[in-house]
Structure 1
Amino acid sequence: MTATEGTRVDLHVKVLDEDICERAKARGLDVLVYAPHFTRWPTIEQRAAAYSDEELTVVPGREIFTGPWHDRRHVLALDLDAPIPDFVTLEGAMDELHRQDATVLAPHPTFLTVSLDRTRLEKYRDLIDAVEAYNPKHLPWHNRRAQSLASELDLPAFTSSYAHLPGTVGEVWTTFDAEIGDESALVAALKGGTPRRLFHRSGYGHRARKLFEFSHLGYENTWKKIDRVVLSDMEATHPGHVAYGGQFDDIRVV
């Protein structure tokens, strides 16, 4: 992909396998950011590398759940130097991301109780590299509000498929006016504010995909999943997991 044509990037997907990569290529994507829930950073890195090839670059990402489950705030991070667990304070997570000089994105801003609201976006404005302005899980007014926030705060925008379901991959993308062939180039584009254009498909098919993704929220928020993920310190990204060696005990909330 040349700089003139631009590079098509889906900046947030939750699913990854060979079929998904083939779908991404068929839809004209050049880069996927793979950021699954409750998966430790080394595992994400390994899977991203395993599915990258000359046609499609898969970049590791980490959507960190900050705060307690009932009032969690999601932050999407790229280019981590070290793992960061879920369910730590937002302030603690942001301090650690700043220390690592990571790339920080604000996914689905002000959406329900799982996102950064305007007050938090303003507070951490200097750390945030881009705000999501379109997300298939959003209802129309959510997208309009997100677009207004990015504009009012003078922050670069991005969009993603936020695909939890394989069929959503390729429905939404950000085209950067630059050649992006690896993780470092994507990080440079995000941190440098490289010009970009936001796209999503339209029509009945896209509306159906949006409905499927929005409906999937119900599954994500069942009490069974809360019990499995939040209440067990054996989960991979729980701050009490042995892998973190107590490093985050002072900022953990569960």
Structure 2
Amino acid sequence: MSDGATRVDFHVKILNEQVVERAKTAGIDVLVYAPHFTRLPTIRERAARFSDDDLLVVPAREVFTGDWRSRRHLLALGLSDPVPDFVTFEGALSAFDEQDAAVLVPHPELLNVSLSRAEVGAYRDSIHAVETLNGKQFAFQNDRADRVAEAFDVPGFASSYAHLVGTVGSVWTEFDRAIDSATALVEAVRDGADRRLVKRRDPATKLRRLAEFAHLGYENSWGKLDRLFLSGMEPTHPRHIAYDGRFDDVAMY
């Protein structure tokens, strides 16, 4: 870890030896690992397995609020207790607030899976950062997200949003402080610490972005169908036995 500036890739979906190697090669100090439909204890265990003196992996949850047709994603860092998917938006925010988590808005205004400009404004006091640089998105989409953040004076953040190994380290958020723990990262986000957002612009990175976008098409077609009809109850379903009925009053299903 650096004693000064810290490079953070705020959102990756995959984690293995190749991801770690690529992150280190890119000079990333911190990876935020938030896979879909995976319970927090499992994420924590895997994050700890791949953390070392050169790379900190921070566990997080990208929670799907609402139902499949109107879901809104929220990225939560610093959770002490698990929060399921498919709960009401207000129910998720309440659970995050109780745990003093950092609440981030990934890919605003992207398709039907993101907060709109109006929603960011309405919930401004509960939001600590908005993703304004996403390695998977095109420039016009990131520019649109940047305008959303500026409109409501919310700090931005950058992530590769990597679902594929090659995208890891394509963009990052660089803080002007040392961050050597998950707690320190949560504090930096909640405090609105100074940062700059950096993006690689080489041809290979642009090609990988196209590959990621193709993968997004799969996720929202066959991948979505599989989740809806073939997989049964997900580990993060709000009525799963693991949550012991604590979210029944805000469950969408």
Q: Could you say which residue in structure 2 is the equivalent of 1:209?
A: 208
Give the superposition deviation at 1:233: 5.3
Task: Describe how 1:98-113 pairs up with structure 2 within 5 A.
Answer: 98-113=97-112
- Residue 97 of structure 1 pairs with residue 92 of structure 2: no
Does residue 86 of the first structure (1) align with residue 85 of the second (2)? yes
Q: Distance in 1 between matches of 2:191 and 2:123?
A: 17
Q: Distance in 1 between matches of 2:139 and 2:35?
A: 25
More divergent stretch after superposition (234-243 vs 39-48)? 234-243
Give matches, 1:18-33, under 5 Å.
18-33=17-32
Cα distance, 1:251 vs. partner? 1.1
C-alpha offsets along residues 54-83 of structure 1, whole Å, 9 cap, x if unaligned?
000000010000111121100000101211
- Cα RMSD (Å): 1.3
Q: CA deviation at 1:3?
A: 4.9
Asked if the contact 2:62/2:74 (under 8 Å) is kept, the reply is: yes
- Hey, what does 1:218 align to over in structure 2? 217
Letter matched to residue 50 of structure 1? R
Question: Which amino acid is the alignment partner of residue 224 of structure 2?
Answer: I
Measure how far apart 1:145 and its partner are.
Answer: 0.9
Q: Is it true that 1:150 corresponds to 2:149 in the alignment?
A: yes
Name the SS of the counterpart of 2:27 in structure 1. coil
Match for residue 11 of structure 1? 10
Shift of 1:164: 0.3
Give SS of 2:69's match: helix
CA distances 1:61-109 after superposition (whole Å, capped 9, x unpaired) = 1000011112110000010121111111111111111122111000001
In 1: Cα distance, 2:19 partner to 2:224 partner: 27
**Contact 2:136/2:162 (8 A) holds in 1:** no
Task: Tell me the number of residue pairs that the alignment of Structure 1 and Structure 2 aligns.
Answer: 252
Q: Which residue of 2 aligns with 1:62?
A: 61
Matches within 5 A, 1:114-125: 114-125=113-124
The 2-side partners of 1:43 and 1:61 are apart by 11
Q: Unmatched 5+ residue regions in structure 2?
A: none
Structure 1 distance, partners of 2:250, 2:233, is 18
Conserved 8 A contact 2:2-2:29:
no
Query: What is the CA-CA distance between 1:227 and the residue it aligns to?
Result: 4.4
Matched, 1:181 2:180: yes
Give % identity: 55
The equivalent of 2:38 in structure 1 is: 39
TM-score (norm 1): 0.95
